[in-house]
Amino acid sequence: MRKVIKLTAWGAFALSLAVLAGCSVGGNPRPRMGSYPASLLPTKFLDVNGLGNHCYGIGLTENNGLVYTGKGGHIDIAHLRIAADNTRSLYDKVRGHLLNNDTNFTFKLNVEPSSYYVEVEYPSYWQNIPQKYRGKIADKMSLELSQYFTYTMTTWHEVLTWFGYKCLFFLPEESSAFSWEDIYSNILGTRLGAEALEDSADGYDQAMTILLKKELENLQAQPRTTSKQAAREIASRAMLVDLRKNTDIGLYDGLVTPTLAPGICQGTRPQSLPVPTLNEVYKYGFAINLEIRPKEFERGKILRIIYPEGKGEIVRPSEHLPIVMHYIEKDAMKKGYTIIPSEKPKVLVSAQ
């Protein structure tokens, strides 16, 4: 039986606040207000000419909201910017640790209690090469690791909210967990953040401003009116009938595929993006171990799935995320949600 969602005025307001709390994640970079692609909620729609200028610091000149693209579906610009800025922040952090020969360090995401622990095993040649070459290798590795870490953090945030974590303790956030635009917006942000860091001609903010517009145009960005129409199409088949979740984090094929709205930009196909890897790290002979040490109240629910015998406190993403995601998909279907299969193109089928 399908779940019917009814929104009162207070419900819509509360849910919008939950989306703000749940999606405005960012660690050292400043938080931003996330959006939810349903026309029943107060959502700002943009086109590529209304994005403003990206700002890592105080963002008085940037605009955030939703842009619908023919190949990428809805893009949450705030999610994208947050992921990009975390990539930049972690790049500086990781590079400093590598050049300092640190064998372990930690980082966190915004106000979430979970801590991320990194152990680094250096190759034997590392201490014997000139500083200039170490710097070049550290640049490449930091660029890769910052994307990998950011993507892991933003994915873990979605997991936490599914299990009941609330930034604002009295507002539920399950509705925003794994919504159809989240993961793709995050991974696109990590990618653009890395590209902006490699831009030696422009500063980071200017590079992000240019790259964001260019990438959205490549994805066939649509006018504001089309973005609203796409939201209505998804809402009519999801918010009022059932709630679809896109849980594709790239576990099956190493790709994240976006959700496209039915009847919008007909003839286009989703443009998948590869998940961040550690290929560059392995290429240079390094070994990296990443662990999450959850401290949220909801950690017990997650750890019991990973450790049925109750003897573990650490989450190893590469090993444990597939277990947790399998549980989430089964749990979502029990609750009446529709899971968009991650092995198939993410195009919602029009109701007949």
pLDDT beneath 70, residues of the chain: 1-27, 33-42, 111, 167-175, 235-243, 341-352
| Torsions phi, psi for 288 (to 5 deg) | -125, 130
Rounded to whole angstroms, the Cα distance separating 277 from 286 reads 13
Give the pLDDT of residue 21: 35
**Which amino acid, residue 154?**
T
User: Residue 331's closest CA among 350, 311, 351, 305?
Assistant: 305
Give the pLDDT of residue 173: 60
| Torsions phi, psi for 75 (to 5 deg) | -110, 120
Give the pLDDT of residue 170: 53
Rounded to whole angstroms, the Cα distance separating 271 from 154 reads 20
Q: Which residues contact 262 (CB under 8 A, 6 or more apart)?
A: 233, 237, 347, 348, 349, 350
Averaged confidence pLDDT in the chain: 83
DSSP 53-96: ---SS--TTB--SEEEETTTEEEEHHHHHHHHHHHHHHHHHHHH
Give the pLDDT of residue 36: 62
Helical axes 317-334 vs 299-306, angle rounded to 10°: 110
Give the pLDDT of residue 241: 34
